[in-house]
Structure formats: structure tokens, C-alpha cells
Structure 1
Amino acid sequence: MTRTYVITGASDGIGAAVARALFSRGDHVVALGTNPEKGAALIRDAERAPGSLEFLQADLSLVSNNRRTVDAILEKHPSVDGLVLCARYFRTYRAVTAEGFEHNFALFYLSRVLFSYGLRPALEKTDHPVIVNVAGPGHDTPVPWDDLQSARDYDGVHGMFMTGRLDDLLGVTFAERHGAGPVRYVLFHPGTTSTGFVGEFDPPTAAYIEQQKASAKPATAVVPPIVRLLDNPPEEPLTAFTTHSELSVRGSLFSSADAARLAEITDELLERFGQ
């Protein structure tokens, strides 16, 4: 039976590699990305495969675009077997979206909130639904509760790690709210991987990225553990993995109190924006 998977950040890197693996074995992939040329390349590859792919071009740093895209997916695909969240974009310098959110906070965190909860009704209609949030769980970067959008002393690397912490707490809240249902939430750390490395870099960061590309494992290397999680989701409502190794989600980095605090802040932000 053909399964349907939604992948954000599917134009490049891990997202594109997972998409190719899934349609190559006969599944249907709804791939989201910003680059139409790379989307067209995925479509061409899928035409020669037993599965299929549709590409949706969308800027997921905008809350309004996330909502419209989720609605469009739900209308066409009332049931979805799995969601893989890969979209992110590195910025050396702080940027604010047209909607007033810091770009990293909007794309790497709010987008994943909106897709996780927005596609839940479709996920719950399948037998073993799972959300795989490729974010880098377990990093001990502190959460600056009075500056979640990095208005003070912005640093691109710190901002990326900190927002990954927010994704960890998103997983905690999702599991607490919906753990009695069928959807499993998995936080996944791919390790040092040669992804698309999309972003805007200053010269020192660009030089470092080139070094990373030379030494990092290819995106295809992390496809098997992700596909394994899609095929056989863990029994627990929330789990975390670094490639093949499971991490504990019972420590302070996955604090229920911190997750509740973040969820309240997030709900208020989205309500003010027009939930």
C-alpha cells in the first residue's frame, strides 16, 4: 500500500535524500521547499521511480504561508503517514521576516509548531503515524526566556542551537498533549552531515562551512535511520535519537515545566498574529 509522507526542507540535503529514498521504494512524497529548480529535479527523478512526488514551493519562514500550505495539504491528503521536518536556513546576521519574527525563530521553530499540530488530524487517520523533527536534540544551550528571538547579541550559531532547544521542548509538549493518540514524536540529530548548507554566511563562516563539507558524511548516510523510524515508530509518545543511538528524554533538557512555559509563549504569539 502506498504511503504518503510530507517533508519540509526537501529541496536540499537530508530532506531531499529522504524524499528520494521514499519515492524510490513506491511511496508518495509531498515535498516542500523554496527552490523551484531543485523541486523540478526531484519531480524528474520521481518520474523514473515506482513512487511519486509533488513539490510545493513555499517560504515557511512566514506563519501565513505555513497555514495556507498546511490547509492545502489537508485538502488534498486527508491522511498522512509521516511528517519529516528539515527546513532551516543559517544566517550570520539577524534578520526579521515580513511578519515581524526573527527568521531563525520563525523557520526553525514556529514552522515546525504549525506543521506538527496542523497535520495532526491527517496523521491520526493512519495506522502508525510519526513526526520526525530533524533538529539536533540534546544540546545544552540555555534558553534565554526574555529573548527567544535573539534581539540581544545575535550570533548565528548560538541562535541555531538555541532554536533547536525550542524544538526539543515542542516535542515534549506535543507528546504531553497528544501522547494518548497514535502519533509518535521523534527528535532526531543527524550528526555532522553534508546537507545543503543553505544560508547567508560571513567570510569566516563560509570558510568553515567549506571545511565541514569536506569532512562531513553525505546526507544519504542518515537516510536509513530516518526511514527506519518512519517504518517502525517507537512505542513511546516522545523519543530522541542521535543517528542510531537513543537519547534519554527524561533529563532537564526536556523539562515539562520549560515546555509548558514555551508553549504558553508560543500560543500567545500565534494568537496575536491571528491563530
Structure 2
Amino acid sequence: MSRTVVITGGTNGIGLALARHYSERGDQVIAIGSSRAGHDRLRREAPLARFDRADLSSVKQANELIDRLRSTYPAIDVLVLAAFRYQLSRGETDEGFERTFALYVVNRWLMSRALRPALERADAPVVLDLCGVGGIRTGEIHWDDLQLERGYRPFKATMQGARAAELLAAAYAADPIRYVLYNPLFVATGLFEPFRQPVRGLVRVASALFAQPVSKAILPMTALIDSPPAAPLSAYVRGRPIAFTPDPAAARRLDAVIRDLVSPLAA
């Protein structure tokens, strides 16, 4: 039976590979991207997938996208949260959010919450959140400076996003939806592109030598999507299940903070 699969970041890297896989299998795939280049890449590499354009770092555009999805697809079987950009320097969106925080934290919160009714109408709904769970270094939530106005560093922002993903998933998880946190580790997805030389060259060489091909990296992900775990919330690193125990109080606190930040922009 054909399913409806929504993929943020669906025009590049892992998201694009998943869009190609499921559209070729006969599922109805909606790949979300922010550029014409992404649209053209999707048309070349996954022509059976549908494209919907939105800058997901914008709450306004994300809400417009959500309205389109809810009106067109009453039931959504799979939501893949794969949108991410590595921001070398601090910048803010038009709505005043630090860009990594906007895309990695706010948008994941917004998409998962707003599309929950559509997911609950599916027979076996699953959310696959590509994040840094179980990484080498545990991220920290900077409660007094979530936007990292003081001492921004790209790795610091990324790791805060990884930690936030764990907490927001814990605040979200409940039957019937299966929420899967997944860290693919080092995958050949053009990770070197945001860096400046000489770091760009070094990362490019490391990627060529050590990164896992995308076609191989998505296999454990598709297995989890097709046969979701029994628990409402689970976490995996490169296909291996890991144990993690997010603090329930911190999860509720962060969930409430993001809700308060987003609510004024909902009108």
C-alpha cells in the first residue's frame, strides 16, 4: 500500500536519497527544499517525488507549508526531519532567531507538533529525526542564551541542537507515533561545502576516505521507517540502538520555551 512520506531537507544528501528510495518504491513523497537548485536536483535524481519550496528557518514559511500539507494530505505516514545547515558564523532570520537554532530546533518542533494530527491518522506513523544523538560530545542547552548571542561557535550551536532534539523528542513521544532519533555519523553528503580553505580541502579528503556512501547510509533508516520500533521513542547511531535518558523536566521546560517563542508568530 502506498504511503505519504514528507521529507524536510529532501533535495540534498540523505533526504534526497530517501526521497528517491520511497518515490521509486511507489510511495507519495513530498520533498521540502528552499532553492531552485534543490528543485532541479530533485527533478534529476528523484523525478517521481513532489517538490514543495519553503525556507524552513522561517516560522512564517513553515506554517504556510504546514497548511498546504494538512489540506492536501489528511494522513501522513512518515515525517523525516533532515533539514540542516552548518552555519560558520552567527546570523539571524528575519524573525530574529539564530539560524542554526531556527532550523535545527524551532522547525523540528513546529513540523512534528503541527503535523501530529495527520500522523495520527496513519496506520503506522513514524517520525525519523536526523540529529546528533549519541554523539562524541553531549550538547548543552544554554538556557540563559539559547540564541547564542554571546560566544557563538558553529559546533556549539550544532551540539545544542543535538541535545535539544533529544529533549523535544522526549516531550513529544507517545502512542501511536513512533519517534526515532537517528545519528548517521559521517556520511558523504558534501559536508565540506560550508567550510573555508584550507579546512574545506581537509574535510573533503576525509569525506572521500572515511565517509559512508549515502546509498549505504540510508539502509538502516529505511528499515526503521518500514518496521518502526515498538517503543514510542528510540535512538540509533548508524543503525545501532543506544540507550539514552533525557531529563523529563528539562524536556518539558524546553518544549514550553519553544512554544512561547513560536506562538506570537502563529497569527
Q: Shift of the alpha carbon at 1:96?
A: 0.5
Please state if 1:43 is matched with 2:43.
yes
CA, structure 1 residues 274+198, in 2 after alignment: closer, same or farther (shift >3 Å)? farther
How many pairs were matched up? 264
The structural deviation recorded for 1:209 is: 2.8
Instruction: Choose the corresponding residue for 2:145, options 100, 122, 147.
Output: 147
Given the alignment of the two structures, is residue 268 of structure 1 paired with residue 263 of structure 2, yes or no?
no
Code of the aligned partner of 2:213: P
Q: Once the 2 structures are TM-superposed, how far is the Cα of residue 91 of structure 1 from its aligned partner? A: 1.2
Query: C-alpha distance in 2, partners of 1:44/1:141?
Result: 37
Check the 8 A contact 2:22/2:29 in 1, yes or no.
Answer: yes
Secondary structure of residue in 1 paired with 2:49:
strand
**Please, what is the CA RMSD of the aligned residues?**
1.6
Q: Does 1:15 align with 2:10?
A: no
Work out whether residues 89 and 199 of structure 1, in 8 Å CA contact, stay in contact via their aligned partners in 2.
no
TM-score by length of 1: 0.91
TM-aligned CA deviation for residue 221 of structure 1: 1.6
Q: Which runs of 5+ in 1 are unaligned?
A: none
- Aligned partners of 2:57, 2:16: CA distance in 1, in Å? 19
Counterpart-to-counterpart distance in 2, 1:169 and 1:212: 31
Aligned to 2:29: 29
Deviates more, 1:223-232 or 1:190-199: 190-199
CA–CA separation in structure 1 for the residues paired with 2:108 and 2:96: 18
Kindly provide the CA deviation profile for residues 109-141 of structure 1, in whole angstroms up to 9, marking residues without a partner as x.
111111101111111111100000001212412
1:94 to 63, 81, 90: 90
Unaligned runs of 5+ in 2: none
How far residue 272 of structure 1 moved from its aligned partner, in angstroms, is: 3.0
Which has the higher mean CA deviation after the structures are superposed, 36-45 or 235-244?
Answer: 36-45
In structure 1, distance between residues paired with 2:152 and 2:178? 34
The answer (yes or no) to whether the contact 2:192–2:200 under 8 Å persists in 1 is: no
Give the alignment partner of residue 123 of structure 1, picking from 103, 119, 122: 119
Question: Which one of the candidate residues 149, 155, 164 is aligned to 2:162?
Answer: 164
- Paired residue for 1:83, among 79, 85, 106? 79
**What whole-Å deviation, never above 9, does each CA across 1:8-54 have from its counterpart, x for those lacking one?**
0011110001111111111111000123233233234444xxxx311
* Alignment partner, residue 231 of structure 2: 236
Distance of 1:240 and 1:68 partners within structure 2: 30
Secondary structure in 2 matching 1:217: coil
Q: Report the AA paired with residue 233 of structure 1.
A: P
